[in-house]
Chain A
Amino acid sequence: MDIEINVEAPEPVYEQIVRQIQEGVTTGALVAGMPLPPVRQLANDLVLNRNTVARAYKLLEDQGVIQTAGRKGTFVRSGAADEVTRVKTGQAERSVRRLIEGLVSDGLNTEQISTIFQSALAVAAKG
């Protein structure tokens, strides 16, 4: 699997790496036990500072997506797909909660917010 970064994108580079590895796990391109390149290799190939890649790996490790086994290197963790789903769900919940709080502070009541959500979901379902 290849990874692509854009250093001029608004999304920080380390988050681009995290997101693409998470996507790889979700789509099955990266399966449990699969070795990942060392920080040095990935940083060299992407012409990035090693700290950027190390930060991405640290975040993925904290999320339970990958694990580092000393000199053996870094591997995709078993159950990584579930962890990615859990992380994504958590992020979505936080985003929705922030959005609802904003709407409430704008003066909308629960019923109105619910109607907006139902309508938005219906539009999304139609594609």
Chain B
Amino acid sequence: MTDWIDFAVYAAFLIALYFVQPGMQRRIFVPMLADRNPEWVAAHPDLVRGMAARRWPFWLSYALGTASLAVLAGAQLGLWQPPMMSHGGALPKWMWLWSLAMDAMLVAILVGAPIGIASHFQLKRLIPVATRRQATLERRSLDTSVPRWIQLPTYALVLANLAAWLVAGVLGTHSSPIFWVRVALMFFLSGFFFMVTRAMVARRTNAMDRIFGPSYRPWEVRMTFSTQILPPIVGAVRLYEEVTGTQLFDISRAMQLSLAALIAYWILYMAMLPIDHSAAPARATTANAA
């Protein structure tokens, strides 16, 4: 029964990745061109219309998505057997479903990244940067997106988790041979998520900020800030396992499902975000050109 939950989450993930995400790209394509240079878009309506009408990347995505969903459904329904593990047993179904979902994502990256990069450079070559550029004189900081009363307990939790692992290591109350690897991983992940949040606050204002309006960056920062809570959650469960020598529940499976659900939510949320037509005059030009 619980396999069906895994299947539902990974199916939603694949639908978001292969069917919803291309639609979102299509929706923001012309606004992105206009953001780079509204005068150019206004001066070349036929060219813009032609570029926006290209359909083959979407059909390719839908075909890959359909194939990926069929493979996932076949695995769930037992139409083909799971691969064997190195020690001889069959791979558990939940692990197999995760593996198939990640393989599908890898395919999406391998196919989508070259198309995206080629398209980026083609547009960069074709459309000159606007000579007029705007920026805010407001200093960006984490405080504008995440209140201090949320930041401080989060950092306290992150530090408490790291301290607890160090104390367990010093006292020798751990049971796994890879304990210190896990300590290192805990430090790495805590630092990584902290740096990613900082990078989101500091990153250059891009077309997405202007297309989706002033609420976009704070949402993005809040999403990345919330990832900082992951190491303490995983750390608490893993440390319990280390200290007691018993497994509380399968944290790996829970984290894998959470990650897939988070990516699916991210894509679906962005697909539903309304385009802020009032944010810049470029949007009005875009609407006319499209």
Contacts and interface: CB of A to CB of B under 8 A. Distances in A.
Interface residues of A, number: 23
Interface stretch (B76-84, B129-137, B151-159): B129-137
A41 interface: yes
Contacts of B138: 1, 37
B38 to A, nearest CB: 13
A44 to B, nearest CB: 4
Interface residues of B, number: 14
B134 A21 contact: no
Nearest to A8: B131
B133 A4 contact: yes
Contact of B131 (A7, A36, A73): A7
B245 to A, nearest CB: 47
B140 interface: yes
A34 to B, nearest CB: 9
Given A45-B204, A45-B205, A37 B139 contact: yes
Interface string B218-235: 000000000000000000
Given A37-B140, A41-B140, A6 B131 contact: yes
A1 B136 CA distance: 6
Contacts of A7: 131, 133
A35 to B, nearest CB: 4
Contact of B132 (A5, A37, A40): A5
Given A37-B140, A44-B205, A45-B204, A6 B135 contact: no
A8 to B, nearest CB: 4
A6 B133 CA distance: 7
Nearest to B135: A45
A100 to B, nearest CB: 36
Contacts of B202: 40-41
Interface in B135-177: 135-140
7 contacts: A3-B135, A5-B132, A5-B133, A41-B139, A41-B140, A44-B204, A45-B205
Interface of A: 1-8, 21, 24, 30, 35-38, 40-42, 44-47, 73
Interface of B: 129, 131-140, 202, 204-205
